[in-house]
Amino acid sequence: MEEIRRVAEAYYEHLPENDKNLLKNKFNDMDKNKDGQISRREYMKYFKKENAKGLHRQRIFRGLDMDENGRLDFEEAKVLFYIIESGRAIICMSCEKFMAGAYFSCSQCFFSAKKSKFDICCDCYGGKKFKHHHGATFCDNYTLLSQSRSLALEAPAEEIRRVAAAYYKHLPENDKKELKNRFKAMDKNGDKQISLREFMKGKDKGSHHEIIFTALDKDDNGSLDFEEAKVLFYIMESGRAIICMSCEKFMAGAYFSCSQCFIDRAKSNFDICCDCYGGKKFKHHRGATFCDNYTLLSQSRSSALAAPAEERSSALRAIEMIANVTNLAVTAGCIIM
């Protein structure tokens, strides 16, 4: 929950004063008894009136109520307003848990104009505690965002570990063996650990960065065992943003991207961490508009659905290729018509 709160706070800090006043007015509109708090009753009544089915849930209110006092103050409501505007997935469609961080989506549903999204939490995906259509291919939201960017151009460290572990649990045994072989290939001296020196000799310069090695080294022993290397294999192939382009911090969770660069074929992504965006500790082109990765994913789906069916099918095949070739997910072909 802390991550989503930081994203919402970073957005709020960048709002013009007029927009901040609009949010305060919206808060006051929900606060019917004018006690400076939104009660559970006021919350439920407001969203029932607005017919906002996704937000009309007790679980969401409890997730927003960080101090568990049964009411939302304005600081807590900032997160609510962010959720309303961003369109990010917030409820696991299996256990109905509030999803404040990473989650998995059915890629066929994501790229199909005829279907609604099917989003589930890391625990339900990793534990195979869900029911969905036969042959469904699941990707985490970071991988989907990366693939959606390609289509659009043509038309905290624990969280990332959980995503990688959930992918790994779904692998066939042959694919698990292949990952172990990749690990052995990097482990030049055969001590079942990847040292910093062995890590830095990797061919993928984007993933082989000393900051990343430090972040992956969960037990701080100066080397990566196979469990830690699972995360490395995931970030190497998913295409997710991992290094803040301002402070060069490893970004395991939410981050912000320049939306102009994201949709411009001639430019590279410009991704920065929540702290740098919220604290305005970065330099970029004049007039840049920043969105967090969850909002970009939501908007990218709209762009993807507007693309011709053939291009959407191509994007889905790209996801399935990642899942197959890089051994990161259980896949089955599905052409979108």
Segment 93-136, tens digit of pLDDT: 999 888 877 899 998 888 887 778 899 999 999 999 999 988 89
Residue pair 325/179 in contact (Cβ under 8 Å)? The answer is no
Per-chain mean pLDDT for the chain: 81
180 backbone dihedrals φ, ψ, rounded to 5°? -65, -35
Task: Indicate if 195 and 81 belong to the same structural domain.
Answer: no
Count of domains in the chain? 2
CATH of the domain at 210: 1.10.238.10
Is 164 in the same domain as 262? yes
Q: Quick one: 82 and 166 in the same domain? A: no
8 Å CB contact between 131 and 322: no
Centroid of chain to Cα 149: 14
| pLDDT at 328 (0 to 100) | 37
Q: For residue 248, is it within any domain?
A: yes
User: What residue type is assigned to position 163 of the chain?
Assistant: V
Structure-block tokens of residue 82: 């962010």
203 and 80 belong to one structural domain: no
pLDDT in tens, 13-62: 988 899 999 999 999 999 999 999 999 999 988 888 776 656 777 888 88
State the pLDDT at residue 41: 92
State pTM to two decimals: 0.56
Which pLDDT score is estimated for 156? Answer: 57
In the 3-class helix/strand/coil scheme, how is 59-122 assigned residue by residue? HHHHHHCCCCCCEECHHHHHHHHHHHHHCCCCECCCCCCECCCCEEEEHHHHCCCCCCCCEEEH
312 in a structural domain: no
Digit-coded pLDDT (tens) for 265-284: 777 889 998 889 988 899 99
List the single range of 127-131, 152-156, 193-197 with lowest mean pLDDT. Answer: 152-156
Residue 284 lies in a domain: yes
124 belongs to a structural domain = no
Helices (H), 102-195: 107-110, 122-126, 141-154, 157-169, 173-186
Q: Is residue 255 within a helix (H) or strand (E), and if so which, with residue range? A: strand 255-258
Q: Are 169 and 299 within one domain? A: yes
* Residue 148 belongs to some domain of the structure: no
Look at residues 69, 86, 103 and tell me which one is the last residue of a structural domain: 86
Are 214 and 80 within one domain?
Answer: no
pLDDT (tens digit, 9 = 90+) per residue, 201-216? 865 555 567 778 888 8
pLDDT at 331: 31
Q: Is residue 281 part of a domain?
A: yes
Tell whether 191 and 47 lie within a shared domain.
Answer: no
- 303 with 173, same domain: the answer is yes
Q: What is the mean pLDDT of residues 226-248?
A: 82
Separation CA 92–CA 130 (nearest Å): 10
Residues forming beta bridges with residue 250, ordered by sequence position? 243
What percentage of the chain reaches a pLDDT higher than 90?
Answer: 33
**In this structure, are residues 138 and 119 in contact, taking their beta carbons and an 8 Å threshold?**
no
Residue 100 lies in a domain: no
| Residue 291, Cβ density class (10 Å: 0-12 exposed, 13-18 middle, ≥19 buried) | middle
Strand, helix or coil for residue 24: helix
Average pLDDT over residues 65-88: 89
Residue 277 lies inside a defined structural domain of this protein: yes
Among 70, 86, 102, give the residue marking a domain's end.
86
Give the range of the structural domain holding residue 203, as residue numbers without chain letter.
Answer: 153-307
* pLDDT given for residue 129 in this prediction: 94
Residues 6+ apart with CB under 8 A from 40: 58, 61, 70, 71
Residues 61, 174, single domain; the answer is no
